[in-house]
Structure 1
Amino acid sequence: MATPDFIKNIRATAGHQLLYLPGVTAVVFDERGRVLLGRRSDNGEWSVVGGIPEPGEQPAEAAVREVYEETGVECVVERVVLVQTLRAVQYGNGDICQFMDVTVACRATGGEARVNDDESLEVGWFEVDALPGMREFATFRIEQALADEPTWFAQPGEFALGVAGVGVTPAGH
């Protein structure tokens, strides 16, 4: 995921220390029940769409913006799927981040799936029973979006999956 300017400004004075940040993940379905995925340019893996909300931006607004920016697909948010703090990750440049992820289920309303920025190598619609290989981060979110259940929350003391497979978990985290 591209680093927003406000994070770059914080990093200019905070250095590489741990930043606790908001994150949104969008699980988008079309009228046929297919799920929208992008093959990430940072690690070459397929995943659901996600990003960081801008200051003052609501999670649903950020999800809709991220989906359009990355895939060209317009969507509406229908419900919150899960809320989860992810394990801290250290990126190749030394930055350490930990995300509080709000995952939302979305319905596509327009646009055409395409690579719409430099964060994706490919974008496409997939049948849920024929998904490409993905990390548990993405498959768990798709499963929860398909489930007719209340919002999923991690239980006290339960730690979550890493951020879409980027970075490594630093020692002690």
Structure 2
Amino acid sequence: MSVAGVIVDDHERALLIKRRDNGHWEPPGGVVEPEETLPEALQREVLEETGIKIALPATLTGVYKNMTGLIVSLVFRCEAIDGQPATGEETKALRWVTREEVSTLADEAYAVRVLDALDARTPAAIRAHDGVKLV
């Protein structure tokens, strides 16, 4: 299981990271460790990859299945409460993006997750994405 946090600023932009290992743009996140709760994993992953501490609770905006790795990913809309965006061991670059920019930077499966989070203000309902392979 993995978690990802879509940090949204006052201008309704989302913070994406460019991963060092594959160069892809996506929301910060990663695998939940066995001893962690979901909120702990979300806070840890976002802080490690962005330098930003997020407020809890965060709003669940989607549940996605990676068909290749058979991983279920929980995506949350997050609010920054401390820190400044900074790169780290896993992060090559960071960028605040608008709705329009998300699809040009991120792979389709990650763009859908970010757009769902930008659209969400309440806990997630099940969404169907016709024709989109959610990986």
Structures share a fold, TM > 0.5?
yes
Number of the residue aligned with 1:15: none
Helix, strand or coil: the match of 2:117?
helix
> TM-score scaled to structure 1, two decimals?
0.66
Kindly report which structure 2 residues correspond to 1:152-163, keeping only aligned pairs within 5 A, or say none: 152-153=125-126, 160-162=133-135
Count matched residues.
130
* Contact 1:144-1:152 within 8 A present in 2 as well: no
Kindly provide the CA deviation profile for residues 71-111 of structure 1, in whole angstroms up to 9, marking residues without a partner as x.
Answer: 101112421111122202xxxxxxxx321111111011120
Residue 150 and residue 112 in structure 1: after superposition, are their counterparts in 2 closer, same or farther (change >3 A)? closer
**Residue number among 71, 76, 85 corresponding to 1:104 in the alignment:** 76
Kindly report which structure 2 residues correspond to 1:60-139, keeping only aligned pairs within 5 A, or say none: 60-76=39-55, 77-88=57-68, 97-115=69-87, 117-131=88-102, 132-139=104-111
- Structure 2 residue runs of 5 or longer lacking an equivalent are none
CA radius of gyration, larger in: 1
Q: Which has the higher helix share?
A: 2
Moved more, 65-74 or 127-136: 127-136
Moved >6 Å (runs of 4+): none
Kindly provide the CA deviation profile for residues 49-78 of structure 1, in whole angstroms up to 9, marking residues without a partner as x.
Answer: 110111131222211110100110111242
* Contact 2:52-2:80 within 8 A present in 1 as well: yes
- Structure 1 residue runs of 5 or longer lacking an equivalent are 1-21, 89-96, 163-173
CA distance in 2, matches of 1:100, 1:55: 15
> TM-score scaled to structure 2, two decimals?
0.83
Instruction: Note the C-alpha offset of 1:25.
Output: 1.2
Counterpart of 2:78 in structure 1: which amino acid?
Answer: C
